[in-house]
Amino acid sequence: MTEPRKRRSRDPVATRADILEAACTLLAKDGPEGISLSEVAKLAGINRGTAYQHFETREKLIEATTEWVSDKMFRAVFGDPETLGERNVGEVDIASLTDRLHMFAMDNPELCRIWLLQLLSSPEPSRDPFWREYEGSLARFAATEFAQPGIDTEALSVLNLAGAFLWPVWARSHAHGDDDRRSLAVRFSQEALRLSMYGSLQSENYPLIAERLGRAPKVPVKLRAVGG
């Protein structure tokens, strides 16, 4: 049973954070249907009236909680949004970014799945900061000479994130402890990187990734016509 937090002196910023953290816990445990302002207030250690002062409706609370989870993912995968700025896609460490995404997903499986379902049902996914940066960075990458031509970045983003956030379900059934779970996260990250390397990347530009995957960089060759 989840224990309520201890009440503390009133600090609006800290109180809002407590509410969002409590809502995040309930969202991961019971999904959107399990969230009520009363239950969140109880878990956060505040009265219901205070919760309503911060969030007028349950729907606004769920929306804010999803944004809060998105911000946590953003910081874990991309870094501090305040200092990130516009990145040169040619300088992005794709392997490290891929690893961070899959480790976060493995460590926060319920939150990631809830976030993904909320995003997929959203009429305006571009409002979500993590999605905006993830899909946007793929779009910027797709416009460079480092990418294969004709990438559908929206479809690729959904494909990548759905796989990353559903793999921990498999891990829960097959892992025996934290070490096994992290090993499974590494395995999935490796295969996701392989699909990118020989699917969306111009692989000859990424010799370090090729080395990690245990393959020599792909060198374009001219094929002879049949019977030539």
- Domain boundaries, given as residue ranges, for the chain: 1-56, 64-212
What was the pLDDT predicted at 28?
Answer: 80
Of all residues in the chain, the percent with pLDDT exceeding 90 is 57
Lowest-confidence segment of 12-21, 22-31, 93-102, 164-173 by average pLDDT: 22-31
What superfamily would CATH give domain 1-56? Homeodomain-like (1.10.10.60)
Average pLDDT over residues 123-132: 93
What was the pLDDT predicted at 192?
Answer: 94
Average pLDDT over residues 138-149: 93
Distance (Å, rounded) from C-alpha 165 to C-alpha 103?
10
Common-topology check for domains 1-56 and 64-212: no
Cα 93–chain centre separation: 17
Of all residues in the chain, the percent with pLDDT exceeding 70 is 87
62-90: per-residue pLDDT in tens?
889 889 999 999 999 999 888 776 667 66
- State yes or no: pLDDT of 10 exceeds 90: no
- Phi first, then psi, for residue 201 (nearest 5°) are -90, 150
What was the pLDDT predicted at 193?
Answer: 93
The pTM assigned to this predicted structure is 0.79
What was the pLDDT predicted at 227?
Answer: 37
199: number of Cβ within 10 Å: 11
How far from 215 is each of 90, 92, 98, 198, 218, CA to CA, in Å? 21, 21, 18, 11, 8
When the candidates are 1.20.120, 1.10.357, 3.30.1360, 3.50.30, the CATH number that belongs to 64-212 is: 1.10.357
What was the pLDDT predicted at 165?
Answer: 95
- State yes or no: pLDDT of 220 exceeds 50: no
- Up-side HSE of residue 98: CA atoms within 13 Å toward CB? 20
In the block, tokens 């239950």 appear at 39
Alpha helices in 31-152 (DSSP H): 37-44, 48-54, 58-77, 81-84, 94-107, 109-120, 129-142
Q: Higher-confidence residue: 83 or 130?
A: 130
Q: 3-state DSSP call for residue 201?
A: strand
pLDDT band at 92 (very low <50, low <70, confident <90, very high): confident
Average pLDDT over residues 126-135: 93
- The rounded mean pLDDT for the chain is 86
